[in-house]
A and B are shown apart, each in its own frame.
Chain A
Amino acid sequence: MRCDEVARLLPETVEGMPVDLAMQTHIESCLRCQAELARYRRMLRALQQLRTRFLEPSPSLLAQTLAALEEAGERHAVRSLLSGRRLAYAGAIGGAALATAGTAAAVILARSRRRAAVA
Chain B
Amino acid sequence: MTTDPTAELRAEVDRLVDAARSGDRTAFDELVRRTYVDTYTLAMRLTANEEDARDVVQESYLRAWKGIKSFRGDAQFSTWMYRITANAAATLVQKRRRRRTESLEHVEEPIDASLEARPEAAVESSVGLEELARAVAALPPKLRSIVVLKDVYGLSHEAIAEDLGISVAAAKVRLHRGRKRLRDVLFEEGGRSAHAV
Contact = CB atoms under 8 A, between A and B. Distances in A.
A73 interface: yes
Interface string B128-159: 11001100100000000001000111100000
Interface string A50-68: 1101111110011011101
B176 A12 contact: yes
Contact of B132 (A4, A36, A50): A50
B27 interface: no
Contact of B123 (A7, A46, A57): A46
Interface residues of A, number: 41
Interface string B179-197: 1101100110000111111
Nearest to B130: A53
Interface string B22-49: 0001001100110011101100110000
A48 B195 contact: no
A69 B175 contact: no
A84 interface: no
A43 B133 contact: no
A3 interface: yes
Contacts of B151: 44, 47-48
B32 A2 contact: no
Interface string A28-52: 0110100010011011111111110
A65 B192 contact: no
B136 A29 contact: no
A11 interface: yes
Counting chain B residues whose Cβ lies within 8 A of the other chain, the interface size class is 35 or more
Given A11-B175, A50-B132, A51-B152, A65 B57 contact: yes
Contacts of A58: 50, 54
A5 B45 CA distance: 31
Contacts of A55: 37, 40-41, 44-45
A62 B152 contact: no
A109 interface: no
A97 interface: no
A11 B37 contact: no
B91 interface: no
21 contacts: A2-B197, A3-B192, A3-B195, A26-B197, A43-B183, A46-B122, A46-B129, A47-B136, A50-B133, A50-B136, A51-B152, A51-B153, A54-B41, A55-B45, A57-B36, A57-B40, A61-B57, A62-B33, A64-B58, A65-B36, A66-B29
Given A62-B33, A65-B58, 12 more contacts: A11-B183, A12-B172, A12-B175, A12-B176, A30-B197, A36-B192, A48-B154, A54-B38, A55-B40, A55-B45, A61-B54, A69-B29
Interface of B: 25, 28-29, 32-33, 36-38, 40-41, 44-45, 50, 53-54, 57-58, 61-62, 65, 122-124, 128-129, 132-133, 136, 147, 151-154, 172, 175-177, 179-180, 182-183, 186-187, 192-197
